[in-house]
Structure formats: C-alpha cells, structure tokens
Amino acid sequence: MSQTSPAIHSTEVGETGQRVVFLHGLFGQGRNFTQIAKAMTPAFHSLLVDLPNHGRSQWSETFSYADTADRVAEHLADGFAGDGPVHLVGHSMGGKVAMLLALRHPHLVERLVVVDISPAPSTGAGEFEHLLGSLAGLELEGLSRRSDADEHLAEAIPDERVRGFLLQNLRSGSEGFTWQANLGLLREELAAIGDFPRVEETFERPVLWMAGERSGYVTADAEEEMERLFPRTVQVTIKGAGHWVHSEKPEAFVSALRTFLGAGRDD
C-alpha cells in the first residue's frame, strides 16, 4: 500500500549557472552544504535538500532507499529539475540516495557525485547506534539552554565537533526543546540505512566517486559493484580528509566539484 510522500524542504543558493543538488548524510541537513554552495556561485545554482526525517522535511513511518530516492526525485521533477536534468551530489547516506535516484530516475540526473560512500553495506553501524542512543537518552525536559545538552553529551560523545554537528538537530520552541530529526525511526531503521539494495539498472552518464583519504567507507571491495552500476566512474581521493570531506577539506572539495561538473553537458 503506497504512502503519501512526505513534503521535502529545500533551499536554493545562487541564481545563475548549472544546477546542482546536494543531499546530506545521516543526522545532517541541507544547510550543511551552504558554504560549499556559496563558493560554487555564480557558475552553479544549488539546491540544498533536507532528506525525509531530517531538517524541515516531514517524517515518515518507515525507511527504504528506494522510497527516499523516489520522494526526492518527485520533488526535483516538480521544481528544480523541471526544465531538464541536474547535477546531483550526495554524501554518505545522501550518497546512497543519490545513487539510487540516478539509477531509478536517470532522466533527472546530468552528472552524479558520490561522496565517501559505496553501493554496499556500510561499516560503522555500532558508532551510529551509540550516537543515536546517546541522543535518545538526553532528557529534553530538563534543558534550559543548548549548552546544557552539549554538557550532558560530553562524556558519551567526547568529540566537540561531532556534538556540535548532532546538536544542529535540537530545536527550541514555545514548549521547550525537541529533536528536528526523527531519531526514533532512524534508530529502528539503522540496519536498512547501513545497507544498500541490489539493483540491476545502470547509470550511463559520468560519475565522480570521491573518498576521504582517512576514511574507510570507500574500499577496493566495492569497486566492482560501483563500476557495474556506474560504468563511467572516475575515482578521486581527497588528501587529509576523513568521512566529512566537504567540511574537513572544503577548498579541495569545491575544486573537485568545479572540475568535474564544469566539464559541460554530456549528451
């Protein structure tokens, strides 16, 4: 039985140039790519998407990559990609959504960029289980300010940068603090989020497969499947970067995007 597609929230950056869509990873929001999108202007006009169950997009009752890709594709077809295919950039979980969107809706995608993820089951599920459990265990009723949450999470999540990234999902309203991300569903569906469905389709347009040098998400074991699904793949590694390539090495990230996406329309 089909479900009504949750509304997708997105924000545009820039007004001119080639159109490029950014899809964030688990716990992220479209705005995580704001500085990247600004650095890409005026040659590129960007759309920053909040994936379902994240940011200001609506929540859903279940999760699957196919369903998520189809919902984002519908959002693009109704607006940003209404006049023709766009470039698509996806990081981590967003990279898996981007891959499946390109495979299922190739008419919407001009060039694809997959950032530090593979079309295969991901490692690190234990780390994300720990992070989700830590956030779920936070007593929101007792918080008077955001810094209280940061203090309470410091022992469980000692990395200040990671805590800051996660706490972007904490919102203060008239009834106190709430989580903007659908933490309950994300925790329940963590196995599905870490997986990747078996796909028989292929995407015949150019693909940039970008990896962080210090990250373990892109491995040689995944190369065969990547090349089967995306036969025109070019792989690059960003020196000194970990999993969050775009935030750790933004200049190198933007340079790689400009070089690949600026190569022009592929007919």
> d(Cα 86, Cα 49) in Å, to the nearest integer?
14
Find tokens 């940003």 and name the residue.
Answer: 80
> d(Cα 181, Cα 159) in Å, to the nearest integer?
20
Closest CA to 238 of 219, 254, 258: 254
- H-state helical runs in the chain: 34-40, 65-77, 93-104, 125-136, 146-153, 160-166, 183-188, 190-194, 223-229, 245-248, 250-261
**Mind listing the pLDDT tens digit of every residue in the chain (267 residues)?**
233 445 999 999 999 999 999 999 999 999 999 999 999 999 999 999 999 999 999 999 999 999 999 999 999 999 999 999 999 999 999 999 999 999 999 999 999 999 999 999 986 666 788 888 899 889 898 888 889 999 999 999 998 888 988 998 998 887 889 999 999 999 999 999 999 999 999 999 999 999 999 998 998 999 999 999 999 999 999 999 999 999 999 999 999 999 999 865 544
Can you give the pTM of this predicted structure? 0.93
User: Pairing state of beta strands 207-212 and 233-238?
Assistant: parallel
Token reading at 211: 């990896």
Residue 124 confidence (pLDDT): 61
Residue 262 DSSP symbol? T
- Under DSSP, is residue 190 helix (H, G, I), strand (E, B) or coil? helix
Residue 125 confidence (pLDDT): 60
Residue 265 confidence (pLDDT): 52
Token reading at 98: 């981007």
Residues 18 and 87 sit within 8 Å (Cβ to Cβ): yes
> d(Cα 213, Cα 215) in Å, to the nearest integer?
6
Residue 6 confidence (pLDDT): 58
Q: Which domains does the chain have, with CATH numbers?
A: 9-121+195-261 (3.40.50.1820), 125-188 (no CATH)
Residue 233 confidence (pLDDT): 97
